[in-house]
Structure 1
Amino acid sequence: MSGQRRGGGAAILVEGASDRAAVLAAAGLLGVDLAGDGVDVVPMGGAMSVRRFVAELGPRGAGLRLRGLCDAGEVRFFERAGLPVGAVFVCRPDLEAELIGALGHARTQAVLEEEGDLRLFRMFQQQPAQRNRTLDQQLHRFLGTTSGRKEHYGAALASALPADELPAPLRDVVRAPN
């Protein structure tokens, strides 16, 4: 946290660093200055930590207004932590799939090429465990295979989209009122 005083500012709670990278990239595309607006994007190290972050940062803690971005399978943790339904923006099934879906296969692979990873992806596709998977499954899995890759591509894939093509949960969590 950037040291917001009690009752001032807001926070977007996200599961991890890749989600934070995508939110920050989306904010840039949308022309939203989150930091200037007093909004911190807080990676929690997993959705199961949301209750602790709500307690520390929300109305009974630091007094920040909270909203969250999560995968469909994790929404229950956000709701149980006390975030209202309208403050939780849900990626279906997850952020990587939302970004790959918004870009499509050709543009996603073009981003891999621009980032110097297309050759590695082609080798990855030839592994026995990957051969029978769909291209969506291969792309999704590839993004999580190396430390730091998921975070890097959270920003790279989001940045490759025009603002009007950002997945709704990503766009809406950035534009939500503070």
Structure 2
Amino acid sequence: MADMRAFSDGLPRRADGAARPGAGAGAVGDPVARAGVRTAVLVEGPSDLAAVEALAVLRGRDLTAEGVCVVSMGGAMNIGHYAARLGPPGLGLRLVGLCDEREQGYFERGLERAGAPGRDIFVCAADLEEELIRALGAEKVEDIVRREGDLRAWQTFVRQPAQLGRSPERQLRRFLGTKKGRKIRYGHLLVEALAPDRVPAPLEGLLAGV
């Protein structure tokens, strides 16, 4: 699904990831139309994108072939920009959102201003990492950390004064965000470890709805 990332900032991109010269709002429609995109799934960041992609693969879904583009926006406060460019005021795509509970208001207002229905927002209780850790259980997540060669880093982390007294679930959630790229890598790994009946409701609902 690598080509879905071509729209991660709303700009056409070269193979090396750089924006194509002259690419702007007026240029976005051409590659989107050529790709047959009908639905844009707006997520806050790349770890959310990784989780959605991983679940789609597990379910045998080819979102690109189905006309679904997953867009990592670089933060919930960018929702207005993306909704305007990709939704009814711009390219006319159907918009679907996945967000943290604390960011739900940003998503609702952004989609409302773009004339898109707010019912297509799927909300994680805290964030997607918390949902995945709760679905798997701390012990299983720790097994994945060990298998991935991060055991020493994890053991060092939990001995820090700030982590004393915190539950393993809260420690794991914080640990995933302490190194660049770790949340993205574990976004794939945690989803791949889920039993079919243990997929968090927001992620399950999103995939079923596109």
TM over 0.5: yes
Matches within 5 A, 1:1-178: 1=7, 3-5=31-33, 8-81=37-110, 82=112, 83-177=116-210
CA contact (8 A) 1:19 1:154 kept: yes
Give the AA of the match of 1:61: G
Q: CA deviation digits over 1:45-80, x for unaligned, max 9?
A: 000000100000001111111101000000101100
1:60-102 Cα offsets, whole Å, 9 max, x none, are: 1111111010000001011001242320000001101000000
SS of the aligned residue for 1:26 comes to helix
Greater than 4 Å deviation, 4+ residue runs:
none
Tell me, yes or no, if the aligned pair for 2:37 and 2:68 is still in contact at 8 Å: no
Distance 1:40 1:115 in 2: 29
State, as a whole percentage, how many aligned pairs show the same letter: 50
**How far apart are residue 32 of structure 1 and its match?**
1.7
What's the secondary structure of 1:41's corresponding residue? Answer: strand
The aligned amino acid for 1:54 is: A
CA contact (8 A) 2:37 2:69 kept: no
Higher relative contact order (CA 8 A, sep 6+): 1
SS at match of 1:55: helix
Quote the RMSD (CA, aligned, Å): 1.6
Task: Calculate the TM-score normalised by the size of structure 1.
Answer: 0.94
Q: Say which one has the larger Rg.
A: 2
Q: CA deviation at 1:8?
A: 4.7
TM-score by length of 2: 0.80
The runs of 5 or more residues in structure 1 that have no matched partner are none
The runs of 5 or more residues in structure 2 that have no matched partner are 1-6, 13-30
User: Quick one: structure 1 residues 8 and 152, their matched pair in 2 at CA, closer, same or farther if it must change by over 3 Å?
Assistant: closer
Q: Following TM superposition, by how much is the alpha carbon of 1:119 offset from its aligned partner in structure 2, in angstroms?
A: 2.2
Between stretches 11-20 and 116-125, larger displacement belongs to 116-125
